[in-house]
Amino acid sequence: MRNLFYILFFALTILSCKKSDDTPEFGYEYFGLDKGKFVTYDVMEIFHDVELSPSHDTVRYTLKTVVGEDIVDNENRTASKIFRYAYDAETDELIDERVWTAIIDQGRGEIVEENQRKIRLVFAITSDKTWNVNAFNTDDPQEVYYEDLFKPYSIGGSQIDSSVRVEYEDFFSLVDYRRKYEVYGKNIGLIHRSFKDLTIKDFDTTAIQYGTEVHYSLKDYGVE
């Protein structure tokens, strides 16, 4: 009887460990909603139009985001304020200040950006997840999915231990080039954004005729 007890005990222990190993990582910490957390980015926006002068106009600035106090949103949910401060890259002068909101609700990491509610992440983070970023706004549907889950990522002089990439679009043709993705770091939030929506010439991605680019690159992060 005693031997039977030990056999059952070890069998249950093994099954328990296996169940734990198979449990997916929810990944809420990749959304970066801890109160007081700040992240700063070097931001570059490029506007292309060969019929204008200059044909390729670049704007650079530093963006700082800070997770603030709780607020009840228009869905009667408790969300977090996200303070956004834009500074001139050369003079460090404050040039813009805005407040967005963010929340994790029903397995979705949502951000309300300029009154547009977008689903930036979904949980648990797994390779088979796909979702529509614009499911709750009037923009065109945008289906996205995860790639490169929980991998190290180097950016802006920082080595991030674990990151996930959200793929938005990768399209290339004779006259179009659209490459869009975001990278999120564990216990940080967004660390890299690269959105290109370009009209090109003869399959040449350097022969840009029209379009826009937006690039966010992690500069610093911490807690205030």
At residue 22, the pLDDT reads: 47
- CA–CA separation, 138 vs 107, rounded Å? 21
Token pair for 26: 């929810």
Token pair for 1: 């009887």
> What percent of the chain has a predicted confidence (pLDDT) above 70?
89
pLDDT at 16 over 60: no
At residue 23, the pLDDT reads: 52
pLDDT at 205 over 50: yes
Residues of 64-95 as b/e, b for ≥16 C-beta within 10 angstroms? bbbbbeeeebeeeeebbebeebbbeeeeeeee
- CA–CA separation, 100 vs 73, rounded Å? 11
At residue 195, the pLDDT reads: 98
- CA–CA separation, 99 vs 114, rounded Å? 9
At residue 24, the pLDDT reads: 59
Q: Where are the alpha helices (H) located in the chain, listed in sequence order?
A: 2-22
pLDDT at 142 over 80: yes
Mean pLDDT, range 146-152, rounded to an integer: 98
